[in-house]
Structure formats: C-alpha cells, structure tokens
C-alpha cells in the first residue's frame, strides 16, 4: 500500500507517528541531518496528519518560534517533545541545564528529604521551561536502575543504583513535572540499567527472569504507574526469559501481557526511536512499525521511514492482521492524554527565572566532591581536556570555565577528542604520549559520563594508568572529573593526597565554574567569572 495523504485510515495512523526535527528554524542549522527532516519534508508529513515531533538543537528562544511554526503547519493538536532529562538547557541553549539525575541518588543516601525536594523542583523547573518553549511532553524520567557500573548508555541518566531510590526520586520528579501541566514519560521499559551494550548500536540482552524483574527493574515503573505517569517508553533489548524472539519494543509478551495486563498501565506506550540500530539491523522500517503497533505500542517514535511506517501499519489494519479496535484504542489514548496538557506558555522570552537559576546552582553545589589538598598552582603548563567531540560540544563553548580559568594561571588547553589528538601509546604502564602534549605540569580534566553511540570506547581509555604515569613523573597539577561517579571513584583511589582534585556529575558551565573556583582558591577574580556562557 502506497502512502495516500487523503486516505482517512492513513491519516489516523499518521497521527500516531512522531518524527524528528531540529529546534532551529532553518534547514542549514540542523545538527544531525541524517535524522532530522528538512522543513519541506516536515511540513508535508504534518499536513498528511503526522501527530508528533521530537525536537533537538537550537536555542530555547528559537524553540518557541519553532513550536509555533509546527502548530501552524498541522491541522490537529500535536505532541511536541524533547529528551530533556537534565533540563531544557541540556538540549536548547539558554534553558537551565541541571546536573544529571544520578547526582541526586548520591545525595539521597546522605539526605533523603533534601534530595526528594530537589528532585521535585527539578521536575517543576523542567516542565515550566518546556511549556514556555512550546513543548507539552518531556521524555523523562528515566526509570532504569543503573545497578551495572559498566552500562555505557544509562549511567548518570538514571535516578539511582537501587530500585527504591529510583522509584522515590523519579516519582518526585514526575510530581514536579505534573504540577507544570507537561506530560511525562517513564523509560526505558522494562529496564535498561543492567546492560553492557548500547541499543543505539546493538541489541542488548537482559537475561533475567520475571522474579528478578519484579525485584529490581520493574519497581520504579510500578511506582510511576501508580503515580499516574502519562506515558511509558519501550526499551530495545531482548529478554529471552519473556520473549526469546523479539526485543521488548516489538514484543506483545512485554508490552501487552506485562505492561498492560500485569502492571495495569492504561496510558500511552511509545517506542524508543525505531531508527536505532538495535531495530534497524534486524527489521525494516515498515515491518518494525507494524510489529511495535501489533505488540501494543500506541506511538511510533522516529521510524527509519515515516511514510513506510504509515503505509505498513495501514496495510496491516486493512488486511486484518491488526484489528481496527487496536487503532481506535490508541487514538483514544492519544486524545485523552492531550486533553491533560496545559496550553503552551510561550508568550514570554524569559525561559529561565531566578528560581531556576538558584536550583541549577544548588544542585551543582550539593553534588560537588573535593579531594582535600592545596589549590592548583599557577604554572606554565598544559590543560589537558578529554571530550567526546569538538562539535557540537555544549559544555565547552568559547567562554567555558574549563578552558578559560586555567589559562589565567598559565595552563594552555589541549583537547583530546575522537576526531583529533590521540594521546595514547601501547605501553600499559605509561600510556600517555607526553611528548605530543608539551612540557610542564598537567591539569587533567575528563568529561566522561557514558554517552549514546560511544559503545566500549570510553571504557578502553586507560586513564587510571595515565594518572599513575603523570604522578610518577611529578607532572599532575590537578584532576577534575565531570560526569561519571564510577570514573571518579576509580581515579580518586590512585591520587596522592597532595594532588588537588574534584568531581562534579554535571558537565555544564555552572559545574565547571564551581569546581574551578574551589580548586583555584582565589586565583580567579569576579571579573574572570562575570560571563562564562555563550
């Protein structure tokens, strides 16, 4: 069946598809054109009845204009969403970029009451800013239990390492989000925490039986369902104890039997992005959409080919492979969910208010850890910074404190990234090729947090041996870890007590600012810190 924009059935099916677009207005500004539709394609699909858009990139003010434009292009109410798990500023410049959720899990162990209050404010801040940008759906909270430190993709995105902590903090976040009138989404069902591979790149396997799932993975989802979360996102992983044939996203046993029947979830079920390789390596665009819808998903997120997905589901309905009642139920859930949304509050250019700024600063302060020592000395040295990529790298704009403040003391930046300098030698005891970096003391700043599409690459980097090497040669002036607490715990154990060091789970400029102010101990002035954002 070809895609027919005038066919009533296909228009109904199209309303259950969510496509991806840039938050910027112009095609030339797209950061990821391989996934983001151009404006002509986007307008055409919205006029054909596509019912949702997931947005990424651009500024928060641009996003206000963009969401207005998308609503004008559509004849129906739209679901407009973004992956803003760490606040709107994580994806859209000018919004509040908050510390990752795992930061509050560590605080929860020391001060549960304060962490729960902060998690609720976190959700409220995210929802208020999303609404001011024209979004009505936040794809969070993450409900995965990060009980596996080797997880390459969840890591600091999780609200904890134990199910009780995740359930409590994610529920608090959802309460704050709901108070703003914005929809939430518990993800990635039935739990992506105990995996060692990234579903963006491959199909992870979760070998546990139902009893273990009930004990650990499912508990946060049960808590969010009881709290009335609006939607649940599926995970692209195989659970052979439940369904040895199909990943959770495409499995009726997982989505209908487990999520709908056993956990009694009646809201929207949305797939994780079907363009991810865990799906596309094994299933074509049309068939993946059909299988997901047949399994019990109501919304099809980022199919590899939107027109093929619409045609495939429409044909399966026309031929009786999928009952028409399945379509009507999904459409009703979508209507009822949209009715719970607050109207967009995008009339003001002020996305961030004073309460949001105070929250961002408090979250960084509450999660900062310092290794007791004297401050970093002024010297003609090297500021060695490890990042995932040069562009886009929101954490390291031209005025980023991680670049600017050490330079005041004499440390010149050297960036390590996949497209540039590789500092490694084959010697496992002394892996850094220091002759490539230059002379003088080294301030080592590592931006490591577990990111999608990185796979095993981060874990293979021998930073533990590199720290020993720098210390043995008396060249380590200081160490800062931004991101993964597991990297910090590992490297901290190697440090000489005299070495200044610090950890922040956040990577944003505010985190850099507080870390370096602490480590530089008065060696930077108020003029140096007046304006450190782009």
Q: Tell me: the pLDDT tens digits for 302-312?
A: 999 999 999 99
Closest to 376 (Cα-Cα) out of 445, 436, 433, 446: 445
Average pLDDT on 236-262 reads: 97
Token pair of 2 as six digits:
């070809």
Has residue 22 got a pLDDT over 90?
A: yes
Predicted pLDDT of residue 460:
77
Has residue 452 got a pLDDT over 60?
A: no
Q: Are residues 108 and 187 in the same domain?
A: yes
Q: Are residues 335 and 374 in the same domain?
A: no
Catalytic residue (one of 83, 230, 272, 388) = 272
Q: Considering the domain boundaries, does residue 26 fall inside one?
A: no
**Three-class secondary structure of residue 59 per DSSP:** strand
> E-strand spans in 74-120?
79-82
- Cα–Cα distance for residue pair 224/58, rounded to 1 Å: 31
Token pair of 35 as six digits:
């996934």
Among the candidates 339, 360, 384, a domain finishes at 339
Domain count, the chain: 2
Among the candidates 339, 356, 386, a domain finishes at 339
Predicted pLDDT of residue 195:
85
Q: pLDDT category, 534, cuts 50, 70, 90?
A: very low
- Cα–Cα distance for residue pair 216/265, rounded to 1 Å: 18
Q: Considering the domain boundaries, does residue 87 fall inside one?
A: no
282 classed as catalytic: no
Q: Are residues 323 and 435 in the same domain?
A: no
Helix pair angle (102-110, 354-367), 10° resolution: 70
Count of CB atoms situated within 10 Å of the CB of 344 = 20
> At which residue do the structure tokens 């902590």 appear?
165
For the domain that residue 322 is a member of, what is the CATH number? Answer: 3.20.20.300
- Cα–Cα distance for residue pair 10/94, rounded to 1 Å: 38
- Among the ranges given (17-21, 30-34, 188-192, 249-253), the one the predictor scored with the smallest mean pLDDT: 30-34
Has residue 453 got a pLDDT over 80?
A: no
Has residue 529 got a pLDDT over 60?
A: no
Predicted pLDDT of residue 456:
54
Q: Are residues 173 and 232 in the same domain?
A: yes
Average pLDDT, the chain: 92
Q: Considering the domain boundaries, does residue 329 fall inside one?
A: yes
Q: Are residues 296 and 396 in the same domain?
A: no
Pairing of strands 52-56, 79-82: parallel
Q: Are residues 112 and 240 in the same domain?
A: yes
Q: Are residues 178 and 221 in the same domain?
A: yes
Q: Are residues 495 and 399 in the same domain?
A: yes
Task: Provide, rounded to the nearest whole percent, the portion of the chain with pLDDT above 70.
Answer: 93
Has residue 17 got a pLDDT over 50?
A: yes
Q: pLDDT category, 35, cuts 50, 70, 90?
A: confident
Q: Considering the domain boundaries, does residue 531 fall inside one?
A: no
Has residue 301 got a pLDDT over 90?
A: yes
Catalytic residue (one of 108, 188, 192, 200) = 200
pLDDT tens per residue across span 93-127: 999 999 999 999 999 999 999 999 999 999 999 99
Q: Considering the domain boundaries, does residue 297 fall inside one?
A: yes
- Cα–Cα distance for residue pair 496/19, rounded to 1 Å: 51
Q: Are residues 249 and 393 in the same domain?
A: no
Residue 382: domain span: 368-520
Angle at 91 between CA 51 and CA 71, to 5 degrees: 30
Tell which phi-psi region holds residue 482, choosing left (phi > 0), alpha (psi between -120 and 50) or beta.
beta
Q: Are residues 258 and 402 in the same domain?
A: no
- 110, 86 Cβ separation under 8 angstroms: no
For the domain that residue 385 is a member of, what is the CATH number? Answer: 3.40.50.10870
Q: Considering the domain boundaries, does residue 12 fall inside one?
A: no
pLDDT tens per residue across span 384-407: 999 876 556 788 877 899 999 999
Q: Considering the domain boundaries, does residue 167 fall inside one?
A: yes
Q: Considering the domain boundaries, does residue 47 fall inside one?
A: no
Q: pLDDT category, 419, cuts 50, 70, 90?
A: confident
Task: Provide the b/e sequence for 274-292 (b: ≥16 CB within 10 Å).
Answer: bbbebbbeebebbbbbbbb
Q: pLDDT category, 532, cuts 50, 70, 90?
A: very low
Has residue 216 got a pLDDT over 50?
A: yes
Average pLDDT on 409-438 reads: 89
Pairing of strands 381-386, 411-416: parallel
Length of the chain: 534
192 classed as catalytic: no
Q: Are residues 335 and 378 in the same domain?
A: no
Q: Which residue has the higher pLDDT, 237 or 1?
A: 237
Q: Are residues 195 and 265 in the same domain?
A: yes
Give the C-alpha distances (Å, rounded to integers) separating 38 from 34, 93, 303, 448, 453.
Answer: 10, 21, 15, 32, 23
pLDDT tens per residue across span 317-374: 999 999 999 999 999 999 999 999 877 777 777 899 999 999 999 999 999 999 877 7
């Amino acid at each position: 069946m070809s895609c027919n924009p005038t066919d009533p059935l296909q228009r109904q099916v199209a309303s259950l598809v969510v496509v991806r677009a840039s938050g910027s207005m112009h095609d030339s500004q797209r950061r990821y054109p391989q996934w983001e539709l151009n404006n002509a394609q986007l307008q055409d699909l919205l006029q054909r009845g596509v019912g949702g858009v997931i947005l990424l990139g651009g500024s928060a003010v641009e996003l206000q204009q963009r969401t207005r434009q998308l609503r004008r292009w559509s004849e129906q109410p739209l679901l407009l969403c973004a992956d803003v798990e760490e606040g709107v500023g994580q994806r859209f410049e000018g919004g509040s970029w908050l510390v990752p959720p795992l930061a509050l899990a560590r605080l929860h162990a020391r001060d549960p009451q304060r962490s729960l209050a902060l998690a609720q404010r976190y959700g409220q801040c995210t929802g208020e800013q999303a609404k001011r940008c024209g979004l009505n759906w936040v794809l969070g909270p993450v409900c995965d239990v990060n009980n596996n430190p080797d997880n390459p993709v969840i890591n600091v995105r999780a609200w904890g390492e134990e199910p009780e902590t995740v359930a409590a903090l994610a529920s608090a976040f959802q309460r704050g989000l709901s108070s703003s009138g914005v929809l939430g989404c518990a993800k990635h069902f039935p739990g992506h925490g105990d995996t060692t591979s990234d579903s963006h790149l491959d199909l992870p396997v979760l070998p546990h039986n139902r009893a273990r799932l009930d004990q650990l993975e499912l508990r946060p989802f049960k808590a969010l369902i009881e709290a009335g979360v609006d939607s649940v996102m599926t995970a692209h992983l195989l659970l052979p104890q439940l369904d040895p044939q199909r990943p959770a996203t495409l499995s009726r046993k997982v989505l209908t039997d487990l999520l709908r029947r056993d956990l009694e979830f009646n809201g929207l079920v949305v797939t994780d992005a079907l363009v991810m390789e865990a799906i596309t390596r094994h299933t074509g665009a049309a068939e993946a959409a059909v299988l997901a819808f047949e399994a019990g998903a109501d919304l099809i997120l980022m199919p590899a080919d939107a027109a093929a997905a619409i045609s495939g589901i429409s044909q399966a309905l026309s031929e009786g492979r999928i009952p028409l009642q399945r379509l009507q139920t999904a459409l009703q859930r979508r209507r009822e969910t949209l009715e719970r949304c607050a109207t967009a509050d995008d009339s003001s250019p002020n996305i961030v208010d004073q309460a949001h700024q105070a929250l961002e600063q408090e979250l960084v302060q509450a999660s900062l850890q310092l290794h007791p020592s004297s401050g970093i000395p002024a010297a003609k040295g090297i500021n060695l910074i490890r990042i995932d990529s040069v562009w886009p790298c929101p954490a390291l704009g031209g005025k980023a404190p991680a670049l600017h403040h050490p330079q005041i003391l004499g440390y010149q930046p050297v960036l390590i990234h996949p497209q540039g300098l590789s500092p490694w030698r084959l010697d496992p005891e002394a892996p850094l090729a220091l002759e490539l970096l230059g002379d003088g003391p080294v301030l080592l700043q590592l931006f490591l947090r577990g990111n999608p599409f990185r796979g095993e690459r981060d874990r293979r980097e021998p930073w533990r041996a590199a720290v020993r090497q720098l210390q043995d040669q008396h060249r380590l002036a200081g160490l800062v870890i931004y991101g993964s607490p597991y990297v910090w715990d590992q490297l901290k154990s190697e440090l000489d007590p005299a070495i200044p060091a610090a950890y922040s789970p956040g990577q944003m400029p505010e985190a850099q600012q507080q870390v370096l102010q602490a480590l530089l101990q008065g060696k930077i002035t108020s003029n140096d810190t007046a304006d450190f954002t782009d």
